[in-house]
Structure 1
Amino acid sequence: MQTNTSSNLGTESISKLLIKQAVPASIGILVMSLNILVDTIFVGQWIGSTAIAAINVVLPVSFFIAALGMSIGIGGSSIISRALGANNKEKALKTFGNQVALTLLFTVSFAASGLYFVDQLIPAFGGKGAIFDPAKVYYEIILYGVPVLGFVMMGNSVIRAEGQPKFAMYAMLIPSVGNLVLDYIFIGVLDKGMSGAAWATTGSYIVSFLFILWYFLSKNSELKINVSHFKLHKKIVAEIGSLGFVTLARQAVVSVTYLLVNNALFDYGGETSVTAYAIVGRMSMFALFPVFGITQGFIPIAGYNFGSEQYNRVKEVIFVAIKYATILATMVFVILMVFPEVITKLFTTDLDVLKVTPNNMRWTFAAIPILSLQLIGAAYFQAVGKALPALLLTLTRQAIFFIPLMYILPMYFGEFGIWVAFPISDILSTLVTAFFLRREVNLKLNQ
């Protein structure tokens, strides 16, 4: 098998290359999204609607752990892509070794802290009333698998930076399929309830970790590191941190948003509203899976060609990625607008939840056809190593616009104000990103 595939990022046609990179990423995200959906269906049908809300309470923790791994992975992968594009193999190896060391350090520390403060964190995340006990059971088991999850998310980004999208897809498919199988065994057959759901998730990521470890030890990977590469280098760590902080900030804001929305909806509508948001939240990754897939495929192509100073190719991949992502996002948008009642019935038979969720789902996803420009625009700045604009544009959607709107609008519109804050923030953040991306193209890429 050909081992040096990263050079293809600078030579193949952009459309063909983007499809080759994005399709496996999209398939992986789709299967992972369907896994989350089916997992929630299993929990809702076999354990109950309160269990759905309990898992949603723990989602901020899972998102933050994934954020740690993804931030180190994507931050380092931007360096690796540009280093390979500039034919600097040693820098790529040092970067990967530092990624491994940082992932181990941060995930183990976070897991230990999270387990120590469990009784304080669960209520803070919205795990109140009847939700507390099942949420605590799920939370504690999920924390045991935190280091493994971190390595999976980090390794997946590095595999994609090497120009190996199919292996990155396999790494995402394994935990998705594994979780469904283990769900059936632990919940359906062994009747382990919430602990079964948690162990199914943790066990599936362990299997994925073993696959990723095999990949880097096999001849498929260009990055053959040794012990010396694990030594932290201040300059590399700083660059990983500055670029990775963009992803960390984005995912951390997602976690904070879940926390704030869970608490706000509990105050306005109780457990029913929290459950409705849990269902909508499960659909969010599915709704955006084409955009996320294209964005992940876009990043190594943009980074490699920017590193080799092929600016026309960078400009081309920006426009092609936005076009493809917008078309696919619009197709998903139509499905969500037409069939929200059918989708909701897959998760629960609770009449109160069935009554409120469909309309809230429509409002939440009302602006997703235009959101591809915002996500890909922010990803461009991260791919080319411009951490500050990447960070600011990443934060516009939820931190700068959504969270303030979530507090202001309910003063006038009650609970409806929380739901309508989603599309308004999507529109505003897209307009801001479009302005800065257009300026960047004119100033830098039209040389």
Structure 2
Amino acid sequence: MDRTEMLGQENVKTLIIRLATPAIIGLMVQAIYNLVDTIFIGRGLGEDSVLGIAGISVAFPVQMLMMAIALGVGIGGASVISRSLGSGRREYAERTVGNMVTMILFSSLVFTALAIYYIEPILTLFGASETVLPFATDYTYYILLGTVFFTFSAAMSNAIRAEGNTIFAMMILVVSSVANIILNPLFIFELGMGIKGAAIATVISQIIGTLMVLYYYFSGRAEVPFYFSNLAPHTGIIKESSYIGTSESMFNVVESLLFLLFNQSLLHYGGDLGIAVFGIVIKVFMLTLMPIIGLKQAIQPIFGYNYGATNYLRIRQTMTIATYMATALCFLSMIIVFLIPEQIIGLFSNDPDLIEMGVPAIIICYLMMPFIGVQIIATALLQSLGKSLESLVLILSRQVIFLPPLVLLLPLQFGLTGIWIAFPLSDLLAFVVALFMMRRESKKMEIL
């Protein structure tokens, strides 16, 4: 049985675990290196630790825009590849791989040029005060230089995963992340480069990830190979993959724009300290969310392949098992945060004001964590079935309809605490929408 056939034949629970385990490991390592990045800066800048952490927090929305490019191409292309394989259109899958490379190179180079040219206005817009702006600029400039490497390795990892090779996709994340963890203290402490060193270490690790992707395709390991002739744009593939990837891309674009609202509100109610706390909470949240994202990446090729093969019963089994697993993982992460909030915040800095503000913030933000799993599984289902509009509506329900009004209104009554409360409330409301949409799509396929 080859890698693509197992998507339609292997025991569902065994297959999910097989595909999810390497994805989770890779993503967890990647999230840990993001944490380590912030920890090294918080510990390495001494009295400027809060400003350094705030600088990274302000730069984070720019990185999310980079991720929007990678995921828009990666998720969309992977969906086309897995469905094409399921329906026996292998040549179409091969052309999709080539077109993914073309889309990544074009979009990332355009983004880099524009972002570098407008770097200071962008960072100011995202909440950088006069004291934080130098730190944010130093970090973001070097990160932007590595955009093409980051987007390429991230997007093509999805293509590799779509053909069932989750092990190599995991290795790309693990090797590049471990390299970043090793290089961080070298550049920050040994070479005395501070926040610039953290950014340079990150870019070098992304170059390593890119080289691994190139090795995969040019060594003949790929089930769906890359051919230079497939770089020529194919209107149908670009349209289909872009349409599908729009929801995932828009999630990151909207999330990035929301940081404008969040950081400006935080600057007003909590100053630079509030932005630093938010940056820490987001990094911790991303770490605990990685197992669920890994689970999502594992089930997407199963959904896509079996939808292409019209095996709807297998889709139902996958959806049910994945939903239980995601909910359990979310609940576990909530318990851990509730048990040791002070120790978690204290990892990043010894600043007593940061810890005092951070502990209640992280507890409040995690109140509805168990409901997030259903949202992620529902999004995976809709994207894999090619339901771009529906998945976009689901994502935007939380990010646009629920969260911004709550962030604007609740602080009027509760101050800074109101900003933290907005997150669990929006999670609860988005859960209701996700549950409704998941059941509706299930009934369409007559699998309930």
Query: TM-score, normalised on structure 1?
Result: 0.98
> CA shift at 1:332, angstroms?
1.1
State the distance in 2 between where 1:170 and 1:248 align.
Answer: 24
- Give the number of equivalent residue pairs: 445
Instruction: Work out whether residues 120 and 133 of structure 2, in 8 Å CA contact, stay in contact via their aligned partners in 1.
Output: no
Residue of structure 1 equivalent to 2:289: 288
Please, which runs of 5 or more residues in structure 2 have no aligned partner?
A: none
Identify which of 12, 23, 29 aligns with 2:10.
Answer: 12
C-alpha RMSD over aligned residues: 1.2
Instruction: Work out whether residues 314 and 445 of structure 1, in 8 Å CA contact, stay in contact via their aligned partners in 2.
Output: no
> CA shift at 1:235, angstroms?
1.4
Letter of the aligned partner of 2:19 in structure 1? Answer: Q
- State whether structure 2 residue 22 is matched by structure 1 residue 24: yes
Residue of structure 1 equivalent to 2:33: 35
| Over 4 Å off, 4+ runs | none
State the distance in 1 between where 2:341 and 2:304 align.
Answer: 38
Letter of the aligned partner of 2:139 in structure 1? Answer: Y
State the distance in 1 between where 2:143 and 2:27 align.
Answer: 20
State the distance in 2 between where 1:389 and 1:71 align.
Answer: 16
> CA shift at 1:233, angstroms?
1.4
State the distance in 1 between where 2:447 and 2:280 align.
Answer: 44
Residue of structure 2 equivalent to 1:443: 444
> CA shift at 1:228, angstroms?
2.2
Query: Greater CA deviation, 216-225 or 63-72?
Result: 216-225
Residue of structure 2 equivalent to 1:318: 319
Query: Greater CA deviation, 219-228 or 388-397?
Result: 219-228
Residue of structure 2 equivalent to 1:399: 400
Identify which of 38, 42, 45 aligns with 2:43.
Answer: 45
> CA shift at 1:223, angstroms?
2.1
Residue of structure 1 equivalent to 2:175: 174
Letter of the aligned partner of 1:432 in structure 2? Answer: V
Residue of structure 2 equivalent to 1:339: 340
Query: Greater CA deviation, 96-105 or 397-406?
Result: 397-406
> CA shift at 1:44, angstroms?
0.1
State the distance in 1 between where 2:172 and 2:286 align.
Answer: 18
Residue of structure 1 equivalent to 2:119: 118
Instruction: Work out whether residues 76 and 244 of structure 1, in 8 Å CA contact, stay in contact via their aligned partners in 2.
Output: yes
Instruction: Work out whether residues 303 and 385 of structure 2, in 8 Å CA contact, stay in contact via their aligned partners in 1.
Output: yes
Instruction: Work out whether residues 50 and 272 of structure 2, in 8 Å CA contact, stay in contact via their aligned partners in 1.
Output: no
| 1:362-403 per-position Cα deviation (integer Å, ceiling 9, x unaligned) | 111111112100111011010011111011111112222111
Residue of structure 2 equivalent to 1:151: 152
| 1:107-148 per-position Cα deviation (integer Å, ceiling 9, x unaligned) | 000000011111211101111121000111111111100011
- State whether structure 2 residue 160 is matched by structure 1 residue 162: no
> CA shift at 1:287, angstroms?
1.7
- State whether structure 2 residue 419 is matched by structure 1 residue 418: yes
Residue of structure 2 equivalent to 1:277: 278
Letter of the aligned partner of 2:3 in structure 1? Answer: T
Query: TM-score, normalised on structure 2?
Result: 0.97
Instruction: Work out whether residues 54 and 131 of structure 1, in 8 Å CA contact, stay in contact via their aligned partners in 2.
Output: yes
Residue of structure 2 equivalent to 1:60: 61
| 1:226-265 per-position Cα deviation (integer Å, ceiling 9, x unaligned) | 2321111111111111111111101112211222211110
Instruction: Work out whether residues 398 and 427 of structure 2, in 8 Å CA contact, stay in contact via their aligned partners in 1.
Output: yes
State the distance in 1 between where 2:254 and 2:21 align.
Answer: 27
Query: Greater CA deviation, 71-80 or 221-230?
Result: 221-230
State the distance in 2 between where 1:69 and 1:24 align.
Answer: 20
Letter of the aligned partner of 1:43 in structure 2? Answer: I
Letter of the aligned partner of 1:76 in structure 2? Answer: G
> CA shift at 1:151, angstroms?
0.1
Instruction: Work out whether residues 68 and 103 of structure 1, in 8 Å CA contact, stay in contact via their aligned partners in 2.
Output: yes
Instruction: Work out whether residues 315 and 445 of structure 1, in 8 Å CA contact, stay in contact via their aligned partners in 2.
Output: no
Instruction: Work out whether residues 250 and 395 of structure 1, in 8 Å CA contact, stay in contact via their aligned partners in 2.
Output: yes
Instruction: Work out whether residues 405 and 421 of structure 1, in 8 Å CA contact, stay in contact via their aligned partners in 2.
Output: yes
Please, which runs of 5 or more residues in structure 1 have no aligned partner?
A: none
Instruction: Work out whether residues 244 and 387 of structure 2, in 8 Å CA contact, stay in contact via their aligned partners in 1.
Output: yes
Letter of the aligned partner of 2:20 in structure 1? Answer: A
| 1:26-78 per-position Cα deviation (integer Å, ceiling 9, x unaligned) | 11111111111111111100012211110111111111111101110110100
Letter of the aligned partner of 1:25 in structure 2? Answer: A
Letter of the aligned partner of 2:378 in structure 1? Answer: G
State the distance in 2 between where 1:11 and 1:400 align.
Answer: 40
Letter of the aligned partner of 2:30 in structure 1? Answer: M
Instruction: Work out whether residues 327 and 370 of structure 2, in 8 Å CA contact, stay in contact via their aligned partners in 1.
Output: yes
Letter of the aligned partner of 2:215 in structure 1? Answer: W
> CA shift at 1:412, angstroms?
1.9
State the distance in 1 between where 2:155 and 2:329 align.
Answer: 27
Report % sequence identity: 35
